[in-house]
Amino acid sequence: MTSSFARKFAVAGIIIGTAAALLWWYVRIFNPFHLPTLAQAPLNYRAPFLYWFVNDSVVVLCPGTFLHIFTLEMRGWFSWFMWILAVFLNGPIYYAIGLVIETVMKRIHGGSATAK
């Protein structure tokens, strides 16, 4: 029997992964932070804090993005395929995290973690 809490967590993981992928696509295509190109940037240039926060949060919230190590600087359909794979890998990862959280909650509360 599967856990309802873990299934909901897995669905949330897929939704979060989709949101992270769309956010990354938006930043890459539309450049809302107005980042300079390598030729325009001075040697001591640092990207805005919000850009680094978005960048780091995508990696933390969508662990499947580590697959992009294998597709560095690849563009086109293969890059999009890896994003889709990363989003769908989020489901099992978040499901496992949901099972761990539910087990901890059961041990702490001594019974059903999802009891009403």
Q: pLDDT tens for residues 60-109?
A: 888 888 887 777 777 778 878 888 898 999 999 999 999 999 999 889 98
Nearest CA to 90 out of 10, 3, 4, 5 is that of: 10
- For residue 63, being part of any structural domain is answered with yes
Domain of 93, in residue numbers: 4-32+51-109
- CA–CA distance, 62 with 87 (Å, rounded to integer): 7
Which one is predicted more confidently, 51 or 112? 51
Q: Please count the structural domains in the chain.
A: 1
Provide CB contacts within 8 A for 113, sequence distance 6+: 5, 102, 103, 105, 106
- For residue 26, being part of any structural domain is answered with yes
- For residue 87, being part of any structural domain is answered with yes
- For residue 116, being part of any structural domain is answered with no
